[in-house]
């Protein structure tokens, strides 16, 4: 992958770096520090971690078992960045917000091209490993494994959706999450020469674009889904989310599309002006799980 291609993808699908840089200047990382971190996957020298935000928890890195009064729901966020960059810092405000509501909030690291030389299929492998780790270790944090939600923005929205929807031969008996929250997600990754937002990057998908495309694998029985998308998004077309939800509903699934008129890519992020509004909408959608 040429450097210019990597840069192009990063510009196309990632606003995360700008957010992170601004946030760090104002103490973002400190204000949104997790309760603890845990390693969920090791691949040679690559160590991938989950950041965990617990309700009323201290900021120590203790790995002692949580003892809540009752099992609680959890939400796992995947950052955006065009599968080439970005950071789990992007969704720390979201994770902390849900922790304040009694959820276990989590953000996750995964491999990206700029740091690991990997492609989208590798990122999806990591996302699935993270989800499996959370389900299998739910009792460690007092989490109800039947009330785990996957969420993400842009390329992270793709990972959240594809973890459940795209073919997963190694899935075994792992069940579905309780819901999906997808924020201006990249739901159609088929590279066929007609996708303007993926033009010129076919090699990046290694011939697997349709295989890992949530849009092309919608079927009955999928988790209830909320899709939030700005109608003026110039990076991931709004129409993709509209068409995805229409296909989901036609298959008998519950899919709610929440359009934000005139909004562009990444408007839901902390510091972009509509964070509180979007967070309230997501809260309302997930209220039955509380």
pLDDT in tens, 152-171: 999 999 999 999 999 999 99
Task: Name the band, by pLDDT with cuts 50, 70 and 90, for residue 3.
Answer: very low
Q: State yes or no: pLDDT of 18 exceeds 60.
A: no
What integer best gives the mean pLDDT of the chain? 87
Give the mean pLDDT of 133-149: 96
Most confident of 3-7, 125-129, 136-140, 186-190: 125-129
Average confidence (pLDDT) over 169-193: 92
pLDDT category of residue 273 using cuts at 50, 70 and 90:
confident
Q: Any idea which architecture 3-289 has in CATH?
A: 3-Layer(aba) Sandwich (3.40)
pLDDT of res. 198? 76
- 10-24, 111-125, 129-143, 227-241 — which is least confidently predicted? 10-24
Nearest alpha-carbon partner for 195 in 206, 209, 183, 207: 209
Q: What is the Cα–Cα distance from 53 to 51, expressed in whole angstroms?
A: 7
CA 250 to mean position of chain CA atoms: 24
pLDDT tens for each residue of 19-63: 544 444 445 667 788 999 999 999 999 999 999 999 874 333 344
Start-to-end C-alpha separation, the chain? 44
Mean pLDDT within 4-25: 48
Q: How far apart are CA 175 and CA 186, in angstroms?
A: 23
Delimit the domains of the chain by residue range. 3-289
Is 17's pLDDT higher than 80?
no
Structure confidence at residue 191 (pLDDT): 79
Report which of residues 205 and 76 the model is more confident about. Answer: 76
Confidence of residue 199 (pLDDT cuts 50, 70, 90): low
Q: Which pair of tokens denotes residue 88? A: 């789990």
CB atoms inside a 10 Å sphere around CB 94:
27
Closest by Cα among 98, 156, 149 to 275: 98
Residue 4: band (very low, low, confident or very high) from pLDDT cuts 50, 70, 90: very low
pLDDT at position 187 is: 96
Is beta strand 104-108 parallel, antiparallel or unpaired with respect to 46-53? antiparallel
Predicted local distance difference test score (pLDDT) of residue 40: 98
Listed residue (139, 151, 209) closest to 183, CA to CA: 151
Helix axes 92-100, 275-286, angle to 10 degrees: 50
Question: pTM of this prediction?
Answer: 0.88
Q: Is 90 buried (19+), middle (13-18) or exposed (0-12) by CB count in 10 A?
A: buried
Cα–Cα distance list, 280 to 94, 119, 215, 277 (Å): 11, 34, 27, 5
Is pLDDT larger for residue 59 or for residue 216? 216
Kindly give, in sequence order, each residue whose CB lies less than 8 Å from that of residue 40, ignoring residues fewer than 6 positions away. Answer: 48, 49, 50, 108, 129, 130, 133, 134
pLDDT of residue 13: 47
pLDDT of residue 69: 56
Q: How confident is the model at residue 70 (pLDDT cuts 50, 70, 90)?
A: confident
Which of 55 and 3 is assigned the larger pLDDT? 55
Q: Report the pLDDT value the prediction gives residue 242, as an integer from 0 to 100.
A: 98
**In this structure, what token pair is assigned to residue 80?**
């955006």
Q: What's the average model confidence in pLDDT over 78-93? A: 94
């Amino acid at each position: 992958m040429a450097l210019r291609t990597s840069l192009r993808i990063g510009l196309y699908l990632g606003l995360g770096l700008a957010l992170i840089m601004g946030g760090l200047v104002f103490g973002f990382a400190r204000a949104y520090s997790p309760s603890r971190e845990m390693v969920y996957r090791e691949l040679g020298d690559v160590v991938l971690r989950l950041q965990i935000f617990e309700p009323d928890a201290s900021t120590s890195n203790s790995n002692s078992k949580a003892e809540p009064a009752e099992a609680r729901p959890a939400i796992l966020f995947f950052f955006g960045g065009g599968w080439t960059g970005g950071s789990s810092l992007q969704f720390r405000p979201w994770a902390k917000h849900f922790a304040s509501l009694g959820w276990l909030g989590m953000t996750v690291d995964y491999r990206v091209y700029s740091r690991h030389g990997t492609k989208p299929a590798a990122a999806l492998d990591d996302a699935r490993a993270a989800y499996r780790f959370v389900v299998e270790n739910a009792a460690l944090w007092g989490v109800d494994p039947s009330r785990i939600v996957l969420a993400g923005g842009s390329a992270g929205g793709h990972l959240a959706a594809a973890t459940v929807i795209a073919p997963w031969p190694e899935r075994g008996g792992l069940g579905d999450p309780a819901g999906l929250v997808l924020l201006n997600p990249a739901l159609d990754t088929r590279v066929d020469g007609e996708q303007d937002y993926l033009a010129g990057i076919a090699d990046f998908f290694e011939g697997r674009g349709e295989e890992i495309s949530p849009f092309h694998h919608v079927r009955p029985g999928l988790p209830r889904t909320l899709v939030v998308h700005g109608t003026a998004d110039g990076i991931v077309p709004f129409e993709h989310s509209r068409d995805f939800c229409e296909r989901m509903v036609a298959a008998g699934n519950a899919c709610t599309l929440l359009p934000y008129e005139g909004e562009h890519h990444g408007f839901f992020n902390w510091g972009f002006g509509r964070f509180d509004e979007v967070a309230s909408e997501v809260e309302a959608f997930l209220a039955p799980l509380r």
